[in-house]
Amino acid sequence: MQGYSLAFAGMIFSPIGEELFFRGIVHSSFERCIGEKKAAIVDSATFALTHISHFGLVFINNKWSFFTTPTIIWVVSMFLVSLLFFVCRKYSGSILGAVICHSAFNLGMIYCIFYA
């Protein structure tokens, strides 16, 4: 049952909030100043860095631990996925394209974590 509630939250709340913030506010704010491609790099970098807490920086036995190699792999992966979300937004002409892509990505991740 836990997988279903995480899947629901991961497919609804995270994609809507994160895409409105990163591909909406952050991207649009930077796009005016530095252009679309550089803004995509900025919003993807900030998206990737905020996701360090998902994998790499952990609290175990009352202390914080930082795992360098997994963190680098994770941040690079999140950066590339974030660029994919930007491409979906661009080609769909709407933030909804990024939300749907993000939602599908989260569903795949949750499936792999709980069922694969």
CA distances from 29 to 3, 52, 92, 114 (A): 36, 23, 20, 37
Question: Cβ(102)–Cβ(17) under 8 Å?
Answer: no
Domain count, the chain: 1
- pTM over the 0.85 mark: yes
Residues spanned by the domain of 36? 2-114
Distance between CA atoms of residues 17 and 37, nearest Å = 22
Q: Look up tokens 């909406």; give the residue.
A: 24
Q: How confident is the model at residue 93 (pLDDT cuts 50, 70, 90)?
A: very high
Q: How confident is the model at residue 57 (pLDDT cuts 50, 70, 90)?
A: confident
> Over 23-85, what HEC string results?
HHHHHHHHHHHHCHHHHHHHHHHHHHHHCHHHCCEEEECCEEEECHHHHHHHHHHHHHHHHHH
What are the structure tokens assigned to 67, written together? 């795992």
57 has which bridge partners?
66
pLDDT at site 3: 60
**Which of 9-13, 14-18, 88-92 bottoms out in mean pLDDT, i.e. has the lowest?**
9-13
pLDDT at site 59: 83
